[in-house]
Chains A and B, each alone.
Chain A
């Protein structure tokens, strides 16, 4: 699938924004400035970007506990994201959601989710809305390899096939379900073949290759928009960080991570590819790098000093009517 120069620059900017946002959060977490619990998306940037480049604000995604990358790729404001991670009053969720529940319905982002596998049924609902109202929109549910062992995901795959819903199951196979490797937790040989057994097209792609993800999503989206039903894309993109920040990762050989950073860095691979294909120049991407760093620095510094929610905020927003 051919991408214009501006689309390539947009893809690069999104991936770079995710990379730098997460790297900054990692450092801030270590310094103790970020409250609570956080799970980072480093190493998987090409997945959210390759998937969400096909979506508009009227298409929906349901996300996971590792949701910052999905937010950025879906177009959420990085400044408001930072405010939310610092649980501040002007954050995307007014400081009441935090990292694990960050959401922006106006951008079609139905929320990060702290329950593994819970996003899949929600994406069915967004697809049902599109189908019922006769709109051409699709919904995507992101979920890790670990989530694919949940009954909710099995139910959702069958349900989507039976009702021919415009859903794409974007499986992020990052190698681990929390502290347990996929070699142990997956009974089948891979996730794509298991999804295919439910009666839908399912492919496995290299999730560090933006172009592979983008092309697979192009096919899945076209199928969904045409009314032909769901697809699964298993994106293999090992995570660079632990399950959560602060995870000592005693279960992992640390040379594995070093090697991933050297050989499977989606940004490095993207830069090499577009330069080889003579689509983008290094200086054009370097300029994006500077912009992104400045934006994130501004967002994080503003978030740190922004006001907290007020005591009155404790009791609001439970119900619409009171």
Chain B
């Protein structure tokens, strides 16, 4: 056990899964970097954010494969390789780039098993950077997990800390279904106690990151960290429970319903744009299963229904904040 960053935890999971299983390969743009450059230093990048550093040096060009900038070809190659015996981990540098290759994911990989009558498996992982907060503007900052969550056949993972990132990524790689694994850019440098040995975390099992009795906050991805801060700040005055579903598909509705049945109050927090996002889904689940236990109308905190602005001033207003979450907690308590 030692303290590791979110970035190191992901890198370690990739190392350990590649060591464990020779059919695991990595494929993407600049996950190696430096091929064909004048410095003649393949492996000099290790990903735009250094997440895949050292993997090329360790596992070589047969298993750590840089491609041309051709997202459809990458996603299709991963899907085809998964159908025929490999366990590819494909990197979509920024989640926003799904726009140029989504067919290969939602019409192909996600549907093979069903369309082929259960006679196929597609064990692939797509890793992608996600989320706002680094002044990356409208086409490099989105929170698109509601779109993936909507598609039957895909599993969607949204880790909120380094410990979960390592265990969930190992699970994703060993899983026999296509998995979208989303890494929030602002989490890469966050730190956590992370075991050195390999471990997995099952999908569809929410984690209660703070126990409480008055209000339930269900938060996703980076928003879990903000919810935890609010719970810690209010400790002693309002007892806040924080639920981190960790995967949006499958979604652990049992823990959400149990928590709200216990507290009677719900604040749902999702960085994604508000129409049909996971906060909406959580409120729907509670309305269907725990309506009678609600002491106040649920509150929903999300980004506004706008693209992500470039201006750091506007971006700060765009991303849900601890201030908004705290205000919502106080509102449901006052109701």
Q: Chain A nearest CB: distance from B246 CB in Å?
A: 16
Q: A124-B76, A320-B177 are in contact. Are A118 and B114 (CB under 8 A)?
A: no
Contact B67 A159 (CB under 8 A): yes
Residues of A within 8 A of B152 (CB): 318
Contact A128 B155 (CB under 8 A): no
Q: Which of B65, B83, B116 has the most CB of A within 10 A?
A: B116
Residue B104 interfacial (CB < 8 Å): yes
Contact A317 B113 (CB under 8 A): yes
The 4 closest A-B pairs by CB, nearest first: A121-B76, A125-B80, A94-B117, A317-B118
Residues of B within 8 A of A149 (CB): none
Q: Which of A95, A105, A129 contacts B81 (CB 8 A)?
A: A129
Binary contact track A2-45/B, C-beta < 8 Å → 1, others 0: 00000000000000000000000000000000000000000000
Enumerate chain B interface residues (CB-CB to A < 8 A).
23, 25, 27, 62-63, 65, 67-68, 70, 72-86, 88, 103-104, 107-108, 111-121, 152-153, 155, 175-177, 250
Residue A92 interfacial (CB < 8 Å): yes
Q: Chain A nearest CB: distance from B69 CB in Å?
A: 9
Q: A94-B117, A155-B73 are in contact. Are A133 and B85 (CB under 8 A)?
A: yes
Q: Could you pull out 9 A-B pairs where Cβ atoms are within 8 angstroms?
A: A93-B116, A94-B117, A97-B117, A101-B111, A103-B112, A111-B116, A122-B76, A162-B68, A319-B177
The answer for the CA separation of A128 and B23 in the assembled complex, in Å, is 11
The answer for the CA separation of A156 and B101 in the assembled complex, in Å, is 12
Q: Which of A92, A113, A114, A122 has the most CB of B within 10 A?
A: A122
Residues of B within 8 A of A139 (CB): 80
Binary contact track A136-163/B, C-beta < 8 Å → 1, others 0: 0001000000000001100110110011
Residue A73 interfacial (CB < 8 Å): no
Residues of B within 8 A of A114 (CB): 107
Contact A101 B115 (CB under 8 A): yes
Contact A321 B176 (CB under 8 A): yes
Using CB atoms, name the residue of chain A closest to B100: A151
Residue A91 interfacial (CB < 8 Å): yes
The answer for the CA separation of A158 and B72 in the assembled complex, in Å, is 12
Residues of B within 8 A of A151 (CB): 72
Residues of A within 8 A of B176 (CB): 320-321
Q: Chain A nearest CB: distance from B105 CB in Å?
A: 11
Using CB atoms, name the residue of chain A closest to B86: A129
The answer for the CA separation of A133 and B88 in the assembled complex, in Å, is 13
Q: Which of A97, A104, A125, A159 contacts B68 (CB 8 A)?
A: A159
Contact A158 B70 (CB under 8 A): yes
Using CB atoms, name the residue of chain A closest to B117: A94
Residue A261 interfacial (CB < 8 Å): no
Q: Chain A nearest CB: distance from B249 CB in Å?
A: 9
Residue A47 interfacial (CB < 8 Å): no
Q: A93-B115, A96-B114 are in contact. Are A158 and B68 (CB under 8 A)?
A: yes
Contact A156 B84 (CB under 8 A): no
Q: Chain A nearest CB: distance from B4 CB in Å?
A: 28
Residues of B within 8 A of A320 (CB): 113, 121, 175-177
Contact B72 A152 (CB under 8 A): yes
Contact A152 B73 (CB under 8 A): yes
Residues of A within 8 A of B115 (CB): 93, 96-97, 101, 103, 111
Contact B80 A62 (CB under 8 A): yes
Contact A103 B80 (CB under 8 A): no
The answer for the CA separation of A47 and B78 in the assembled complex, in Å, is 27
Using CB atoms, name the residue of chain A closest to B178: A319
Q: A155-B70, A317-B113, A321-B175 are in contact. Are A124 and B119 (CB under 8 A)?
A: no
Using CB atoms, name the residue of chain B closest to A84: B117
Residues of A within 8 A of B112 (CB): 103, 111
Q: Which of B111, B113, B114 has the most CB of A within 10 A?
A: B114
Contact B81 A121 (CB under 8 A): no
The answer for the CA separation of A151 and B102 in the assembled complex, in Å, is 13
Residues of A within 8 A of B153 (CB): 318-319
Residues of B within 8 A of A95 (CB): 117
Contact A118 B113 (CB under 8 A): no
Residues of B within 8 A of A120 (CB): 73, 76
Q: Chain B nearest CB: distance from A303 CB in Å?
A: 15
Q: A110-B80, A121-B76, A319-B177 are in contact. Are A115 and B117 (CB under 8 A)?
A: no
Contact A105 B76 (CB under 8 A): no
The answer for the CA separation of A317 and B112 in the assembled complex, in Å, is 9
Which residues of A in the span 248-305 have a Cβ within 8 Å of any Cβ on B?
Answer: none
Residues of B within 8 A of A105 (CB): 83, 116, 119-120
The answer for the CA separation of A124 and B78 in the assembled complex, in Å, is 8
Residue A184 interfacial (CB < 8 Å): no
The answer for the CA separation of A73 and B273 in the assembled complex, in Å, is 49
The answer for the CA separation of A34 and B50 in the assembled complex, in Å, is 54
Residue A126 interfacial (CB < 8 Å): yes
Contact A125 B83 (CB under 8 A): yes
Which residues of A in the span 75-127 have a Cβ within 8 Å of any Cβ on B?
Answer: 91-97, 101, 103-106, 110-111, 113-115, 118, 120-127
Contact B67 A125 (CB under 8 A): no
The answer for the CA separation of A130 and B84 in the assembled complex, in Å, is 9
Residue A60 interfacial (CB < 8 Å): yes
The answer for the CA separation of A159 and B65 in the assembled complex, in Å, is 11
Residues of B within 8 A of A310 (CB): none
Q: Which of A62, A92, A118, A124 contacts B103 (CB 8 A)?
A: A118
Using CB atoms, name the residue of chain A closest to B81: A125
Q: Which of B79, B120, B177 contacts A121 (CB 8 A)?
A: B79
Contact B78 A125 (CB under 8 A): yes
Residues of B within 8 A of A122 (CB): 76-77, 79-80, 83, 104, 108
Contact B119 A104 (CB under 8 A): yes
The answer for the CA separation of A317 and B155 in the assembled complex, in Å, is 14
Contact A319 B113 (CB under 8 A): yes
Q: Which of A113, A124, A133, A316 contacts B77 (CB 8 A)?
A: A124
